[in-house]
Amino acid sequence: MPVFFGAEIATLRELVFPWLVEMPPISAILQTHNDGLRLGRALETLHPCSEIVIVDRASTDGTLGIAREYGARIVSPRRSSAEILRYAKHDWLLWLLPNEALSEGLEASLYEWHRAATEDLRTISSASARVREETEQGWSIAPLQTRLIPKTWVHWDGMTPAHDSQSTLLQGDLLHFRLP
């Protein structure tokens, strides 16, 4: 059985997993406060993300334990969303609320986004997703929301990125749950 070292490992990785080559990593950002009942559902869908950052605002329930189970990095909050960007290691950020989850279609879209050529990504300012909201009557379609942003983002709508009408549309849905 051959033993691989150094460059041979990288070459083997490229042969076995070609989609991992030149993938721009994504940091997922979630702000929490006593979201233990819903956080696991959100974290379970973040497979396309290379890093999960939980900005916790003094939770007293099981939120932090659940975040640790998923390998999330937990940080203390800053005063504004723009300051929170400093916590992310990667240049692209997926902004998610703790009561949201990615549909399988949106997960697949993010994997495809990973596979896009680096030069193609230089022309993308941000990406949006269709939001489906849970209601008492079932699911309703909400307006598009910009959620995949570069670390240099400066446009905010409260604690979430402001919608960019020029953003690239990702296929799939961002699911916004009403109940835990």
Tell me the backbone φ, ψ of residue 128, rounded to 5 degrees.
-120, 160
Side-chain-side CA neighbours of residue 94 (13 Å): 30
Token pair recorded at residue 139: 């699911």
Domain range annotation of the chain: 25-176
Tell me phi and psi for residue 148, to 5 degrees: -105, 115
Looking at CATH, the fold of the domain delimited by 25-176 is given as: Spore Coat Polysaccharide Biosynthesis Protein SpsA; Chain A (3.90.550)
What separation in angstroms does the CA of 159 have from each of 11, 85, 148?
42, 12, 14
pLDDT by residue for the chain (180 residues), tens only, comes to 333 333 344 444 455 555 444 558 999 999 999 999 999 999 999 999 999 999 999 999 999 999 999 999 999 877 677 778 888 999 999 999 999 999 999 999 999 887 775 556 677 889 999 999 999 999 999 999 999 999 999 999 888 899 999 999 999 999 999 887
What gap in Å lies between CA 65 and CA 86, rounded to an integer?
23
Beta-strand ranges (E) seen in 33-91 are 51-56, 73-75
